[in-house]
């Protein structure tokens, strides 16, 4: 009565008991499955990463939302993995040769964990990544100073908490596809990121799309898919 009953082996599924890896996903969508670390034990994270890597030896596999304990376990048991304690990610294997550029723009230093999760994800999913940090709207000169770098990207990820105004400002400067990520940074009536989320959904700049609060991973997947399809610059210049 107390266990998930055996359903027998299924093609394209790797059953670890506490999780079943969808090993067919790479073929179906072009991207391998990812280890979402929240709620998993350190040893589960290590085993899942190792299994994914064995299935996809020629690309990089990613784990996100790792607790400090899981980061230590990965560092100890998978020494070739690259662990980022701020972005709470681990990467095992070599990312694909990058195509296209994603620029990750962050309003404040407290947005760094989400921004780094987005950046690492975009790299693992095949894009070149540029970081542009600490360009909050209360200091416009900093944003204006990076306008050209923004314009050269194939897709922008703009990360901001509090009132979430940065995507509107950036979206008014350039016409590059822009994914906004609200963060839970804030207090009082920020309601854990809802104020920033609503701000971004109501942006007066056209062409802004939004992902869930703190969802750097989702933004990274999306932006990489856009960037790696983009035509190289000389082709674009004609558009």
> How many chain residues interact with its own copies (CB under 8 A)?
115
Residues 123-152 vs its own copies: string with x where CB under 8 A? x--x----xxxx-xxxxxxxxxx-------
CB of 126 to its own copies, least distance (A): 7
**Hey, is 204 helix, strand or coil?**
coil
Q: Does 120 bind its own copies (CB under 8 A)?
A: yes
User: What is the distance of C-alpha 20 from the center of its chain?
Assistant: 22
Strand partners, 14: 21
Q: Does 188 bind its own copies (CB under 8 A)?
A: yes
Closest CA to 157 of 177, 174, 137, 140: 177
Residue closer to its own copies by CB (options 46, 125) is 125
Residue from 57, 58, 148, 235 in contact with its own copies (CB under 8 A)? 235
CB of 218 to its own copies, least distance (A): 6
The single residue listed with the structure tokens 């359903």 is: 7
Q: Does 43 bind its own copies (CB under 8 A)?
A: no
The single residue listed with the structure tokens 């210049």 is: 237
Residue 53 phi, psi dihedral angles, 5° rounding: -65, -40
Residue closer to its own copies by CB (options 46, 116) is 116
CB of 54 to its own copies, least distance (A): 20
> What secondary structure letter does DSSP report for 98?
P
Contacts of residue 180, Cβ cutoff 8 Å, sequence gap at least 6: 158, 159, 160, 164, 166, 167, 200, 203, 208, 209, 210, 211
Q: Does 94 bind its own copies (CB under 8 A)?
A: no
Q: Does 214 bind its own copies (CB under 8 A)?
A: yes
User: What residues numbered 17-36 form the site for its own copies, per CB under 8 A?
Assistant: 18-20, 22, 25, 28-31, 34
Q: How far apart are CA 44 and CA 67, in angstroms?
A: 12
Q: Does 156 bind its own copies (CB under 8 A)?
A: no
Residue from 61, 63, 78, 83 in contact with its own copies (CB under 8 A)? 83
How close are the terminal C-alpha atoms of the chain, in Å?
62
């Amino acid at each position: 009565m107390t266990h998930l009953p055996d359903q027998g082996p299924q093609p394209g599924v790797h059953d670890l008991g506490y999780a079943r890896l969808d090993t067919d996903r790479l073929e179906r969508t072009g991207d391998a499955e990812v280890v979402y670390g929240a709620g998993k034990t350190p040893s589960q994270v290590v085993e899942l990463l190792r299994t994914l890597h064995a299935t996809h030896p020629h690309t990089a596999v990613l784990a996100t939302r790792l607790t400090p304990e899981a980061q230590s376990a990965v560092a100890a048991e998978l020494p070739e993995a690259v662990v980022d304690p701020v972005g709470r990610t681990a990467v095992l294997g070599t990312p694909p040769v990058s195509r296209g550029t994603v620029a990750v723009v962050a309003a404040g230093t407290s947005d760094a964990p989400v921004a780094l999760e987005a950046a690492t994800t975009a790299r693992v999913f095949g894009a070149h990544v540029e970081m542009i940090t600490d360009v909050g709207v209360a200091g416009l000169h900093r944003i204006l100073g990076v306008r050209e770098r923004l314009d050269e990207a194939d897709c922008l990820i703009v990360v901001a908490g509090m009132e979430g105004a940065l995507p509107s400002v950036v979206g008014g400067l350039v016409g590059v596809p822009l994914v906004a990520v609200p963060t839970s940074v804030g207090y009082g009536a920020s309601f854990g990121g809802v104020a920033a989320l609503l701000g971004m959904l109501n942006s007066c700049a056209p062409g802004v799309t939004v992902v869930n609060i703190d969802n750097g991973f989702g933004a990274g997947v999306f932006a990489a898919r856009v960037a790696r399809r983009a035509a190289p610059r000389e082709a674009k210049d004609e558009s």
